[in-house]
Amino acid sequence: MLLPNPKGNYSFLKGIAPYSAGAVAEQGYELVHARFLQPVPLAKGFERVKAHLQAVRRPAQALCAMELRSPKPFTFQGFSDFNGGYVEVLKSWNIFLDDLNPVARTNVAPEIGAPAVPSLYGFSYTAPSVRKEKSFIVAGAGELPEGSLKPEDVVRKGESSNEALREKTRFVMGLMAGRLQGLGVDWAQVTTTEVYTVHSVCSFLASEIIRPLGKAGIHGITWHYSRPPIVTIEYEMDVRGCFREIVL
């Protein structure tokens, strides 16, 4: 369900309480993707986001996506507890719309060099633009059905064989395709595809990822040697179509 967010100048796919499933800029605006050189502890990260938005004369409601890095994967309950505090900050910024969170999110745990505390790696926001092309971001997703945060719903739970990983990858690619369709875009408009796993995907990279990407496959993928945010989930992806990328 694509819902308008007039104050933020984008529309978003309804997700769950902690995050939306994706965002697409409205006409006359584009998404700007920003990341830090190194992750910033989350509380300070929120301050940096607010300061940056003020510097570029954009309201807090222009924030449409967050990218987090965690010390290690959460338990399902730990993830729920963490989300409670995260959501309260967004609510205090008056970002929620009728109890719905419009801000997409990716949250992963680097296997090497992880931050000591939950941290902010990057974020996206809308800004005025004369570009005709749509810009968008799809939230990170692992091998869980849309709307579920239940351990029993994990695809091939507890398995990490090559065939299990292939099935998980195929499932997540399906989620990405569905979200792109929901945003009114397609693979050909994707500029960046990111994969998060500590398992090798080399044996099926071509068949399950690059070929299904279609024209976006020419850009390759960015593979982060990281684990998804919750234990038992082994593979995550996100994608975006952005024309302005900055490092802060």
- Quickly state the pLDDT bin for 74 (edges 50, 70, 90): very high
**At the fourth CATH level, which superfamily is domain 2-247?**
RutC-like (3.30.1330.40)
| pLDDT for res 176 | 98
| pLDDT for res 148 | 86
| pLDDT for res 153 | 94
Q: What is the DSSP string of 184-215?
A: T--GGG--EEEEE-SS--GGGIIIIIIHHHGG
Nearest alpha-carbon partner for 141 in 234, 78, 64: 234
pLDDT tens-digit readout, 139-156: 999 999 998 888 899 999
- Quickly state the pLDDT bin for 129 (edges 50, 70, 90): very high
| Domain boundaries along the sequence of the chain | 2-247
| Separation between Cα atoms, residue 106 and residue 111, nearest integer Å | 16
- Quickly state the pLDDT bin for 224 (edges 50, 70, 90): very high
Is the Cβ–Cβ distance between 99 and 217 less than 8 Å? no
pLDDT tens-digit readout, 90-99: 999 999 998 9
Nearest alpha-carbon partner for 13 in 124, 107, 105: 105
| Separation between Cα atoms, residue 120 and residue 130, nearest integer Å | 29
| pLDDT for res 33 | 98
| pLDDT for res 227 | 98
Is the Cβ–Cβ distance between 30 and 64 less than 8 Å? no
pTM for this prediction: 0.96
| pLDDT for res 239 | 98
Average pLDDT, stretch 102-117? 98
pLDDT tens-digit readout, 158-217: 999 999 999 999 999 999 999 999 999 999 999 999 999 999 999 999 999 999 999 999
| pLDDT for res 151 | 87
For residue 167, give every residue at least 6 positions away whose Cβ sits within 8 Å of its Cβ, in sequence order, or none: 155, 156
pLDDT at 228 over 90: yes
Long-range CB contact pairs, 6-12, < 8 A, 24+: 7/59, 7/61, 8/59, 8/61, 8/62, 8/63, 8/64, 8/95, 8/102, 8/126, 9/62, 9/126, 10/62, 10/64, 10/102, 10/126, 11/183, 12/64, 12/102, 12/103, 12/104
| pLDDT for res 17 | 87
Q: What is the 3-state secondary structure (H, E, C) of 73-96?
A: CECHHHHHHHHHHHHHHHHHCCCC
| Separation between Cα atoms, residue 117 and residue 173, nearest integer Å | 30
- Quickly state the pLDDT bin for 4 (edges 50, 70, 90): very high
| pLDDT for res 89 | 97
| pLDDT for res 134 | 98
Calculate ∠ Cα 134-138-140, nearest 5°.
Answer: 165
Nearest alpha-carbon partner for 90 in 42, 138, 30: 42
